Amino acid sequence: MRKYFSEFLGTLVLVLFACGTAAVTGAKLLGSAAGAAYLLTALAFGLVVVAMAYSIGQVSGAHINPAVSLGMLLSGRMSAKDFVLYVIAQFLGATAGAAVLYWIIGDGLGLGQNALYLGDAFKSLVIEVILTFVFVLTILGVTSKRGNPAQAGLVIGLTLTLVHILGIYFTGTSVNPARSFGPALILSLVGQPEALSVVWVFILAPLMGGALAAAVWQALDREEGALKA
């Protein structure tokens, strides 16, 4: 149970602090103010991951993201049972984090929810698949036996910052189904049902990106093993 509670807690912190930063800095601003808001939001997401990696990482691995857990499952690094319970804990944690954030700031600023790029579901899906692919591939590499576990938290956090710097402009950057679902659910419960209407894109795309990253990493890993042999 410690593993699952750690995932719940880590995802709660991610949504509260990182989505909270997106909400209060106005990451959807236009003009010169947008640059600062984007960077602050990107750093918030990355720094939360660094903090969680070096705190709860030794307990659960600090996935705090169903796409990461899927990548681990498909790479043979976790059991199906753990995967299911991790995902449940992550979705519950994200929802709890969004609920706490709503209690603090209300819904006038939003809750850092995602939105389609130019109203285009397909383009948004492709963008999110690419962003998640890069993020999960990095995680699989840095946490592998030939990776550098001591620096893994920092590398993963910086990579999440990187994908947010690019992705915030387009979709607000999800790369995490739980992170998208929590704020959308809370907003729908307080009178904004449209928030849930597009969340399927931000659930499906990160899972697709995570699965693709696992497939590519396994191909690269086998090739490296063959070369060493």
What's the burial of 79, exposed, middle or buried (CB within 10 Å: 0-12/13-18/19+)? Answer: exposed
- In which residue are the tokens 């692919």 written? 133
pLDDT for residue 228 is more than 70: no
Phi, psi angle pair for 63, to nearest 5°: -65, -50
Give the whole-number percent of the chain exceeding pLDDT 70: 93
Instruction: Name 120's Cβ contacts closer than 8 Å, sequence gap at least 6.
Output: none
CATH number, domain at 100?
1.20.1080.10
Question: pLDDT per residue over 80-122, tens digit each?
Answer: 999 999 999 999 999 999 999 999 999 888 999 999 999 999 9
Average pLDDT rounded to a whole number, residues 138-148: 85
Measured distance CA(86)–CA(62) in Å, rounded: 10
Residue 225 has a pLDDT of 43
- In which residue are the tokens 């990451």 written? 27
* pLDDT confidence bin for 33, thresholds 50/70/90: low
Residue 150 has a pLDDT of 76
Range of the domain at 16: 2-228
Residue 186 has a pLDDT of 97
pLDDT for residue 28 is more than 70: no
Label residues 48-59 b or e (16+ Cβ within 10 Å = b).
Answer: bbbbbbeebbee
**Side-chain half-sphere exposure of 174, counting CA atoms within 13 A:** 38
Give the whole-number percent of the chain exceeding pLDDT 90: 81
> Tokens at residue 36, please?
């600062």
* pLDDT confidence bin for 171, thresholds 50/70/90: very high
Split into its structural domains, the chain has a count of 1
Max intra-chain CA distance, the chain: 60
Question: pLDDT per residue over 38-48, tens digit each?
Answer: 999 999 999 99
* pLDDT confidence bin for 146, thresholds 50/70/90: confident
> Tokens at residue 35, please?
């640059």
